[in-house]
Amino acid sequence: MMDNALIIRSADKFRGKTQVLTDVDLVVAPGERVALLGHNGAGKSTLIKMILGLTSIDGGDISIDGAKPGSNVARARTAFLPESVNFHPTLTGREQLTLFARLAGGDRPDIDALLDRVGLSEATNNRIATYSKGMRQRLGLAQVLLGQPKVALLDEPTSGLDPISRQDLYAIINELAAHGTAVLIASHALTEVEAQTDRIAILRKGIKVADDTLANLSHNAGLPTRMRILVQAGQADQIAKATGGERINGASVELYCDANQKMQELRRIAAMGDVVADIELTPPRLEDLYRHYSKEGQT
């Protein structure tokens, strides 16, 4: 498939005798945002380093917009935000970014606009040594935006960021994708990628155990939706009995139902009349899915 900006085929990686990646397939199309999820040690950073040509590929192959990892072409087309970003501490943010822009060649970008874009306009003339981890990561993001890359690899981009700049981060990711960049975001922080990515791939001990849209993962996992019924005072036991649910306090009853039974259940409960004050539905969370897919095939 020539359409994909990033193609990983049957990738294997060994560290000594330990196999840390096994037969991993992963493709990312231009403009697609893919989350690569997995616990610490699952192999996310290793896979990214293989894409960058920073560590060897022990089996299978990887193509970046048709180029081999580590080649000049691949490097020119790839942007990378490492897990912890280290710049030259004595340079200011503006100096560091100007230096990167010069190294990248091409058009001379508007450095101040870029720094403003990542929320660093107040710190452009401060030395990087004075930056917090979050600020260094923002500078790293500015660097990612510099070259209009074909592929952007972000390794744990939200570590060290405060919640507000997490929103900024996703605004930037969406901007990259809108310009046709294939974006791969490695994260162990599950809640953050929910609804923010087009597809989710889950690595477990170096093996890809899931790769689909959030909606399809939910559907295929068959995880139940939680229903919480708020009932009128003194009616909880009665409603628990009638619904087959469980009373969780004086005023609510909880039950679980399959996604395809949801409307039927809702109608049945609504028909119970005024004793039902409210119904709250909670679909399975990414965390539940993650647990589900991580367990599957466990030996």
Ligand X SMILES: Nc1ncnc2c1ncn2[C@@H]1O[C@H](COP(=O)(O)OP(=O)(O)O)[C@@H](O)[C@H]1O
User: How far apart are CB 45 and Mg ion at their closest, in Å?
Assistant: 3
Q: Give 51 or 239: the residue with its C-beta nearer to ligand X.
A: 51
Contact residues: ligand X, CB under 6 A: 15, 20, 38, 40-46
Asked if residues 221 and 227 have their Cβ atoms less than 8 Å apart, the reply is: no
Rounded to 5°, the CA angle 100-103-109 comes to: 60
Say how far apart CA 293 and CA 299 lie, in whole Å. Answer: 13
User: How far apart are CB 48 and ligand X at their closest, in Å?
Assistant: 8
Q: Give 155 or 265: the residue with its C-beta nearer to ligand X.
A: 155
User: How far apart are CB 42 and ligand X at their closest, in Å?
Assistant: 4
Contacts with Mg ion by CB under 5 A: the residue count is 2
User: How far apart are CB 37 and ligand X at their closest, in Å?
Assistant: 9
Instruction: Confirm or reject binding of residue 46 to Mg ion (CB under 5 A).
Output: no
Say how far apart CA 204 and CA 83 lie, in whole Å. Answer: 19
Among 4, 22, 45, 143, binds Mg ion (CB under 5 A): 45
Instruction: Please name the residues in contact with 258: beta carbons below 8 A apart, sequence gap of 6 or more.
Output: 222, 224, 225
Q: Give 48 or 111: the residue with its C-beta nearer to ligand X.
A: 48
Residue 70: in which H helix or E strand, if any?
A: none
Chain centre to alpha carbon of residue 191: 9
Q: How many CB atoms lie within 10 A of CB 154?
A: 28
User: How far apart are CB 46 and ligand X at their closest, in Å?
Assistant: 3
Q: In the complex, which residues of this chain contact Mg ion (CB under 5 A)?
A: 44-45
